[in-house]
């Protein structure tokens, strides 16, 4: 199930951003999943929320997903609480 590995990678990126900017809470992340990325969105979202619920910086955060015609998974925007 590579979706969980992808979710771990995204969660790790978010934690790194929180550390870099000295914040204790991430409110929202927007990602884009390409139609040809081979990602089962429901599995990815489920895995991400399991991980997010285990860290106070990401508990309760909003994950917004958009789609395009690519084969990429991209982190587009992050909203941090100052």
DSSP character for 3?
H
Place of tokens 């997010």: 52
Count of domains observed in the chain? 1
Whichever domain contains 36, its CATH number is 3.30.2320.50
DSSP state of 9: H
Three-class DSSP category at 2: helix
- Write out the H or E segment, with its range, that includes residue 66: strand 62-68
pLDDT along the chain (82 residues), means of 10: 93 97 97 96 97 97 97 97 88
Domain of residue 9, residue span? 2-81
The pLDDT score that the predictor gives to residue 48 is: 98
pTM for the model stands at 0.94
**Cα Rg of the chain (Å, integer):** 12
């Amino acid at each position: 199930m590579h979706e969980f590995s992808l979710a771990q990678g995204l969660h790790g990126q978010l934690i790194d951003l929180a550390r870099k900017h000295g914040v204790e809470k991430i409110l929202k992340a927007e990602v884009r999943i390409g139609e040809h990325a081979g990602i089962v969105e429901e599995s990815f979202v489920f895995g991400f929320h399991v991980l997010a619920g285990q860290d106070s910086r990401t508990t309760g955060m909003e994950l917004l997903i958009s789609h395009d015609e690519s084969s990429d998974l991209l982190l587009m925007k992050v909203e941090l609480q100052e």
